[in-house]
Structure 1
Amino acid sequence: MDAKSVLNVAGTDYTFYSLPQAADQLGDIQKLPKSLKVLLENLLRHQDGDTVTREDLQAIVDWQKDGHADREIAYRPARVLMQDFTGVPGVVDLAAMRAAVSELGDDPEKINPLSPVDLVIDHSVMVDRYANDEAFKQNVDIEMQRNHERYAFLRWGQQAFDNFSVVPPGTGICHQVNLEYLGRTVWSHEDKGEHFAYPDTLVGTDSHTTMINGLGVLGWGVGGIEAEAAMLGQPVSMLIPEVVGFKLTGKLREGITATDLVLTVTEMLRQHGVVGKFVEFYGDGLADLPLADRATIANMAPEYGATCGFFPADAETLKYMRQSGRSDDQVELVEAYTKAQGLWREAGDEPIFTATLALDMGDVESSLAGPKRPQDRVALSQIKSHFGDLLDLSVAPAGGDAGRLEGEGGAPAPAAPGEVEVELDGETFTLSHGAVVIAAITSCTNTSNPSVMMAAGLLAKKAVEKGLMRQPWVKSSLAPGSKVVTDYLEAAGLTPYLNKLGFNLVGYGCTTCIGNSGPLLDPIENAIRKGDLTVASVLSGNRNFEGRVHPAVKTNWLASPPLVVAYALAGSMRVDLTSESLGRDSDGQPVYLKDIWPSQAEIAEAVEQVNTEMFRKEYGAVFDGDEAWQSIEVAKGQIYDWPDSTYIQHPPFFEGMGREPDQVEDVHKASVLAMLGDSVTTDHISPAGSIKPESPAGRYLKDNGVEPKDFNSYGSRRGNHEVMMRGTFANVRIRNEMVPGVEGGETRHIPSGEQMAIYDAAMRYAEDQTPLVVVAGKEYGTGSSRDWAAKGTRLLGVRAVIAESFERIHRSNLVGMGVLPLQFPEGTNRETLKLTGEETFTITGLAELHAGDEVNTTITYPDGQETTVAMRCRIDTGNELAYFRHGGILHYVLRRMIGAA
């Protein structure tokens, strides 16, 4: 189809593939959702009659008939974004692929990213030091010491691979760097003297890649495995999605934040059900919704379950691009291109959607979400009662002063059940159920948003002026998503007040939101364990799953940055911030939240401090890094010389690989490694957080001479499969129904009847050459795009995961690692089949498998009885089937790149 056209912008001619011209041949697309127009342009540009056909284009146009199209398409994003936790194993895999190609007698330099890849090191800094002026420097120094081997490897990758850039540590969070600097809305490149323009699109190795949707950029999170394939030139295979329209009208009321809005949107969309769907925001309320607020909403797409949360480009997009330092030529190109292609949001737009929801932003109320799922919104006024009801506390709440010091120099009341007396820095206080032990302004979600960050600073200022201080048991921290944030807080004169309350800068990274909260003080953690206290963290993040923030903290609450500060002052979730005091001022008078909450006018005045020069200054040398980064010695050569390291190991994925794949074998008499319930997240499956000395991973590190103080986190050791496979299914909060009443990564080894770590059992089964399956409930694999949740599953010997339903990314990753995802038939599950985990499973017909087939699975019970169930194969597309037959997506890509597939 000939739809090439030329657009002249600022004196430059750009070749582009015209959607209006395509519509003349395919049919009217005026009412097509703008997110699908981006997909349509992508197909139009890559139409080759093979991977993309005219029928694919027509299917998107015909989607408008009923908001649905059951067709697989090959989507090619313009670029790939990585963070270091997922990026390091990605580069390890690329290095291993080069080694495998060399062993097959081919040219290793055939393995090279074909699309631009940006890796931002943002997941490794931990909150080891806090509440002092040197915390940032101390944490960065510790980070560089801990991660030297990983960073040396990434520096090798930067010089060894083409199209691969690394943003050094201490710069910012990948999604905020993407929003403020990398994202263009309209991408362009020059080829043989011709300039091409097309929508900026990407996939990222973190589920919150969707944050860039706020800038009119279509992007979402995929597993590291799928991202590696995309960077190596493979299309992302996907079904044309349903698109749910979310209409926004009105404005937020005084005192309501963007965080309150996003928690409301998350709750509504999760209740509606948008897993595997696009969400597109529309409505005239967008005209007054700042881009930072849009990005906050888009960031939470994984929490409401959608593939993306797309905001079309409009005047607000251009305003933000100018403010954040994009060139005038780029801004002009965005406006001209999006208008020419029908991608520009016009007032009154009413596209056709699969379904719609609507929200008057004037109805939003102040909220938090918790205690363990981001979609479980609780109104601020209900937090106290909700906490009590939730836990059925045996100790009655003691009012607004529960668990706090009686007064300066006053002795605390005698400890009651559920209370533990603590001495810290010469002070004695009582720690009780509901105590807030972590208060963290952290995560890309909110630290990208000047309005909520300024609100936190203003609230801190008013609190300090009243004489309030944070409670002594609260670990407080400030981890912005970019250096621009500290620039504007400083310019507004708010930094000293945040510091006074202990919200000193601790690093530019994800920190608490991903489990890098660092240790609690020993007296605090000892008290929690002694009293078996149910304590809380309050964080301005997007994830609060069990065991994620800190293993000793059972409840975790998402909140706006100003509410994080407020809870640090109150020190307890058993204080009703809407009616009870936060503490007393210097005159002994009670101070309420309403007394120190900044007005919208005050926030707006502070936000005016944000200016273009801040962005240009901080991003002027974004890839350079500091002296410590630049001084790292870089290995040479195109094939990595694997050192003796407990951080980076040569993975075994390509061992014994031939140029042609073997036939897929059926699974015979597989044992159950674990039987899990509903909403098992990738945080439960994938190694994350701290490494316990007594765990299999801890034992491995000690056997290799690593002291527990130097264990670092699982995330930092994702380049070592020996650590990661030992940490798979090892989360402290995972519940395996094969060992009732036990939390943590334990199972029963059925032949011996012994209870042991899941890794240890898997190795016993491997010795006996017994294949394994995992059985689970609904929403298996919810959460971040953690590739090790799939890689670890594969390395433990699991051939199939059988669940009631799967979350999108993890299902795709399982296929990408050659693990078969099977879905119980409707109305059937582990309970109706009366499974205990003592059964064996035989899965047949795999050599003749087709996408979406029913697969006969014979279950043999301990008494010898058998039943055969027709499970639904959740290999959804032809491309995925090819990956599975090759033993995984990387094997398929490798063979393709050397001409063997």
Structure 2
Amino acid sequence: QVIGVKLTGKLSGWSSPKDVILKVAGILTVKGGTGAIIEYHGPGVDSISCTGMATICNMGAEIGATTSIFPYNARMKKYLGKTGRADIAALADEFQQHLVPDAGCQYDQVIEINLSELKPHINGPFTPDLAHPVSDIGAVAEKEGWPVDIRVGLIGSCTNSSYEDMGRSAAVAKQALAHGLKCKSKFTITPGSEQIRATIERDGYAQILRDVGGLVLANACGPCIGQWDRKDIKKGEKNTIVTSYNRNFTGRNDANPETHAFVTSPEIVTALSIAGTLKFNPETDYLTGADGKKFKLEAPDADELPKLEFDPGQDTYQYPPKDGSGQHVDVSPTSQRLQLLEPFDKWDGKDLEDMLILIKVKGKCTTDHISAAGPWLKFRGHLDNISNNLLIGAINIENGKANSVRNALTQEFGPVPDTARYYKKMGVKWAVIGDENYGEGSSREHAALEPRHLGGRVIITKSFARIHETNLKKQGLLPLTFADPADYNKIHPVDKLSIVGLADFAPGKPLKCIIKHPNGSQETIMLNHTFNESQIEWFQAGSALNRMKELQQKSS
């Protein structure tokens, strides 16, 4: 499907490209774009900078979109020229007629947004599709019991730290400084690249953001992915943060499930951090300066590209050896952070019979629930150690708790990873039952590696987030969906499952699942899949890497 988003009018004032995707997320929800390409078009496109388009397209992952696109235009050409890619711009000019919508083209669904009327948005908490105008969030927060005081504001990271983003944020900060104010909330800035860091240092933006109370962090994912050793609160303490990131799932940024994270534009984060509260609306409300006089923040304005060339900063790239055939990776067997991967076992040619259910997940289960980041990232090179976070954030339907599942062999409740390890030790295969849009969020490969490493074979859900579904296939797992979503209710955590007919596994052909209940009764349901021929070969070989090795050996 192709979903068209027709943009009319023109961005102005406090409204930004981020508000476009926040608005779209509120309309389509986190799964509304699944299986679809989002195509932005219309006269409003030309009022959005090239990096602004990147902000919008990058967050398309949060609505499940396969991809998001804008038509080629002068703003893209200008950006390509400024970043040393004029030759690509020249080539795009030659084919421009193929890089814009065809006349009279039709879309499966059309959303129309008048940019001239678009209000600044803030989405959250706990999900990026719960959309609110900034003007409403204070009242909504008070009604819902969300903390209105902002503990930390965080800007930058990824496609939310362009030169324009940093410039608009600095423009807001400069006004506060002119009136003797600094941020009431803690305030951090994460440059999305070394080029951005170096350029905003040279042009003074970084210093302005420091002067208002900001801390410039390393060029990295940073707190967006949980790389944040937060000290100002205790785990379990209810609090609010505002960020310019794309994802705000429970515990994602700081591993605290009681942190209410909201996502908005960098300039709105900056304004709210200065005010220190969600009840502040920069479009209408006044601040009190150090001299006791009230003033209103003016809507920020900034160049989309630097007047000088971008400063590339430090060249820290390490070139690989020209001939890597003689290279040996020497990893200590006692290392807690690095571990050489072992190939997963090939499929034995048999049906998957009498699998236990590790967990039946209730509700939202993102890749953060499946494989948490934050403090676990130090183990990302050690599959066995990082597997100790497997599904620790998922809610078990049996008891409504996280990281507490029944061991079907001992009948004792314990942590999910420990139970999976016990099953693996006993030679018992297991499955996971999931709800809607299972695996949304970061395309986190560990979320697919870990269940395979600990003995999982099948993940059965009402629906998958597309990238996670593909990652599961790559590791030799079977991601399957209920042909009838109501069949989710037929499976209980104490049941056993058999997937039969795998000898005839073929594209487009549903698989049969036999549910065996403890009382001896059985039910049969059908499960759908999206495997193509090559992906079935991944399953049969044990993983995509195993299959690549097979093909390499055949060719040599």
TM-score by length of 1: 0.58
Cα distance, 1:574 vs structure 2: 4.8
Distance 1:646 1:314 in 2: 50
Q: Which residue type is aligned with residue 386 of structure 1?
A: V
CA contact (8 A) 1:782 1:810 kept: yes
1:803 is matched with which residue? 461
Q: Deviations over 1:135-158 (max 9, x none)?
A: xxxxxxxxxxxxxxxxxxxxxxxx
CA contact (8 A) 1:672 1:774 kept: yes
**What secondary structure does 1:246 align onto?**
strand
Q: Which residue type is aligned with residue 770 of structure 1?
A: V
2:298 is matched with which residue? 597
Q: Deviations over 1:224-280 (max 9, x none)?
A: xxxxxxxxxxxxxxxxxx322222221013221222222113333438922122222
Find out whether 1:381 has 2:95 as its counterpart: no
**What secondary structure does 1:564 align onto?**
helix
Cα distance, 1:480 vs structure 2: 1.1
2:406 to 731, 743, 748: 748
1:535 to 229, 235, 239: 239
Cα distance, 1:783 vs structure 2: 1.3
2:165 to 452, 465, 483: 452
Cα distance, 1:367 vs structure 2: 1.0
Q: Which residue type is aligned with residue 542 of structure 1?
A: N
Distance 2:551 2:174 in 1: 60
Q: Which residue type is aligned with residue 683 of structure 1?
A: D
Report 1:466-477 matches (<5 A).
Answer: 466-471=179-184, 474-477=185-188
Report 1:150-299 matches (<5 A).
Answer: 242-270=1-29, 273-299=32-58
Distance 2:40 2:284 in 1: 35
Find out whether 1:331 has 2:89 as its counterpart: yes
Cα distance, 1:568 vs structure 2: 1.8
1:884 is matched with which residue? 539
**What secondary structure does 2:216 align onto?**
coil
User: Taking structure 1 as reference, are residues 769 and 434 closer, same or farther at Cα in structure 2, changes over 3 Å only?
Assistant: same
2:396 is matched with which residue? 736
CA contact (8 A) 2:59 2:246 kept: yes
**What secondary structure does 2:554 align onto?**
coil
RMSD value over aligned CA atoms?
2.7
User: Taking structure 1 as reference, are residues 571 and 766 closer, same or farther at Cα in structure 2, changes over 3 Å only?
Assistant: same
Q: Which residue type is aligned with residue 266 of structure 2?
A: P
Cα distance, 1:624 vs structure 2: 5.7
CA contact (8 A) 1:270 1:375 kept: yes
Bigger drift between 371-380 and 476-485 goes to: 476-485
Find out whether 1:653 has 2:343 as its counterpart: yes
Cα distance, 1:752 vs structure 2: 2.0
**What secondary structure does 2:127 align onto?**
coil
Cα distance, 1:586 vs structure 2: 1.6
Distance 1:844 1:729 in 2: 26
Cα distance, 1:824 vs structure 2: 1.4
Distance 2:389 2:358 in 1: 14
User: Taking structure 1 as reference, are residues 778 and 717 closer, same or farther at Cα in structure 2, changes over 3 Å only?
Assistant: same
2:150 is matched with which residue? 436
Distance 2:481 2:91 in 1: 46
1:16 is matched with which residue? none
CA contact (8 A) 2:8 2:115 kept: yes
1:358 to 94, 102, 112: 112
Q: Which residue type is aligned with residue 878 of structure 1?
A: E
2:355 to 670, 678, 682: 670
**What secondary structure does 1:613 align onto?**
coil
Distance 1:314 1:566 in 2: 31
Distance 1:322 1:612 in 2: 13
Find out whether 1:642 has 2:331 as its counterpart: yes
Q: Which runs of 5+ in 2 are unaligned?
A: none
Q: Deviations over 1:537-582 (max 9, x none)?
A: 1111111111101123421011111221222223233555556555
Q: Which residue type is aligned with residue 493 of structure 2?
A: G
User: Taking structure 1 as reference, are residues 776 and 330 closer, same or farther at Cα in structure 2, changes over 3 Å only?
Assistant: closer
Q: Which residue type is aligned with residue 465 of structure 1?
A: A
CA contact (8 A) 1:248 1:281 kept: yes
Distance 1:486 1:662 in 2: 48
1:682 is matched with which residue? 367
Q: Which residue type is aligned with residue 93 of structure 2?
A: E
**What secondary structure does 1:455 align onto?**
helix
User: Taking structure 1 as reference, are residues 519 and 853 closer, same or farther at Cα in structure 2, changes over 3 Å only?
Assistant: same
Q: Deviations over 1:348-407 (max 9, x none)?
A: 84434333332221121011111011122111111112212333x7xxxxxxxxxxxxxx
Find out whether 1:767 has 2:425 as its counterpart: yes
**What secondary structure does 1:389 align onto?**
helix
Find out whether 1:870 has 2:526 as its counterpart: yes
1:618 is matched with which residue? 313
Distance 2:367 2:544 in 1: 20
**What secondary structure does 1:300 align onto?**
helix
Q: Deviations over 1:421-474 (max 9, x none)?
A: xxxxxxxxxxxx4332221112212202x3332121011111112122222xx3
1:560 is matched with which residue? 265
1:345 to 92, 96, 100: 100
Find out whether 1:793 has 2:489 as its counterpart: no
Q: Deviations over 1:181-232 (max 9, x none)?
A: xxxxxxxxxxxxxxxxxxxxxxxxxxxxxxxxxxxxxxxxxxxxxxxxxxxx
CA contact (8 A) 1:443 1:542 kept: no
Which structure exhibits the higher relative contact order, with contacts defined as CA atoms closer than 8 Å and separated by 6 or more residues? 1
User: Taking structure 1 as reference, are residues 613 and 308 closer, same or farther at Cα in structure 2, changes over 3 Å only?
Assistant: same
User: Taking structure 1 as reference, are residues 306 and 778 closer, same or farther at Cα in structure 2, changes over 3 Å only?
Assistant: same
CA contact (8 A) 1:802 1:822 kept: yes
Q: Deviations over 1:108-161 (max 9, x none)?
A: xxxxxxxxxxxxxxxxxxxxxxxxxxxxxxxxxxxxxxxxxxxxxxxxxxxxxx
Distance 2:117 2:31 in 1: 18
Find out whether 1:303 has 2:62 as its counterpart: yes
Distance 2:156 2:164 in 1: 15
Distance 2:509 2:5 in 1: 34
Report 1:124-139 matches (<5 A).
Answer: none
**What secondary structure does 1:781 align onto?**
coil
Distance 2:432 2:131 in 1: 31
Distance 2:510 2:197 in 1: 55
Distance 1:796 1:320 in 2: 46
Q: Which residue type is aligned with residue 445 of structure 1?
A: T
1:546 is matched with which residue? 250
User: Taking structure 1 as reference, are residues 513 and 647 closer, same or farther at Cα in structure 2, changes over 3 Å only?
Assistant: same
2:275 to 562, 570, 584: 570
Distance 1:771 1:846 in 2: 16
Q: Which residue type is aligned with residue 763 of structure 1?
A: R
Q: Which residue type is aligned with residue 229 of structure 2?
A: G
Distance 2:47 2:305 in 1: 19
1:90 is matched with which residue? none
Distance 2:505 2:526 in 1: 13
Q: Deviations over 1:491-535 (max 9, x none)?
A: 5544333112221321111211111122223xxx24xx5xx6421
CA contact (8 A) 1:820 1:875 kept: no
Q: Which runs of 5+ in 1 are unaligned?
A: 1-241, 394-432, 691-713
Q: Which residue type is aligned with residue 266 of structure 1?
A: A
TM-score by length of 2: 0.92
Distance 2:260 2:192 in 1: 24
Report percent identity of matched pairs.
26
Distance 2:52 2:530 in 1: 37
Cα distance, 1:639 vs structure 2: 3.7
Q: Report the number of matched residues.
A: 552
